[in-house]
Amino acid sequence: MAQEEINILSVRGGLLFQPDVGKKEAKMKARIMIWLSSMVIGLAVCNDILAAEVGKAIFKDTQGKSIGSAMLFETANGVLIETNLTNLPPGPHGFHIHQIGRCDLADGFKSAGSHYSPNKREHGLTVTGGPHAGDMPNQFVGSDGKLQSHILNTDISLAPSETSIFKNDGTALVIHAKADDYRSQPAGDAGDRIACAVIERSGG
């Protein structure tokens, strides 16, 4: 009988035993544990992706017509806001997050309140003591009336926190008639509110 066969099947005290089987089982168990660990890590990563906070906002103009939307994504460095709107007046427009999630036509969207500022800072990207968490750069609409942009706001969050925009009374995105001058109090002299969108949670 070959030496390998003797190693596989040996007789001791009338009992048949396989001295290498234990090693093989241990290796197999180790491989299974590595595979299971990999699966757990993979599921955890997928879970994190699925659990990532996402927001959406549907804009309406002063006539109540839907003119587009924005998607908001939680990132490691703040909230990325992606806009896709139409039928806006060409030129620069103030673009802010306001402190209440309401967009009532009757009052010209004043129902959205003031700029979102949980840390009670001054208005303006160029002001000492500023800006509001809801202050963002002006947005520029082309001659075709379209606005497509990506804005990263590093002062807000979609996740539960002191700066979360998913608070009890909500928040809203507002587009103004004129450009924000980045310094005038309390809102940058940006003029009337011409479009408004309540920010809501999205399924992704």
> 34 by DSSP, 3-state: which?
helix
Containing 8, the helix (H) or strand (E) segment is: helix 3-8
CA–CA separation, 175 vs 9, rounded Å? Answer: 82
For the chain, which residues make up each domain, given as ranges? 3-51, 54-201
User: Who's near 78: CB < 8 A, 6+ residues apart?
Assistant: 152, 153, 154, 155, 156, 157
User: What are the φ and ψ backbone dihedral angles of 51, each rounded to 5 degrees?
Assistant: -85, -10
What pLDDT, on a 0 to 100 scale, did the predictor assign at position 202? 86
**pTM for this one?**
0.74
What pLDDT, on a 0 to 100 scale, did the predictor assign at position 110? 97
pLDDT in tens for each of the 204 residues of the chain?
A: 554 444 443 343 444 445 555 666 666 666 666 655 555 454 444 444 344 689 999 999 999 999 999 999 999 999 999 999 999 999 999 999 999 999 999 999 999 999 999 999 999 999 999 999 999 999 999 999 999 999 999 999 999 999 999 999 999 999 999 999 999 999 999 999 999 999 999 864
Fold type of domain 54-201 = Immunoglobulin-like (2.60.40)
What pLDDT, on a 0 to 100 scale, did the predictor assign at position 20? 56
Residue 195 corresponds to which tokens in the numbers above?
């479009």
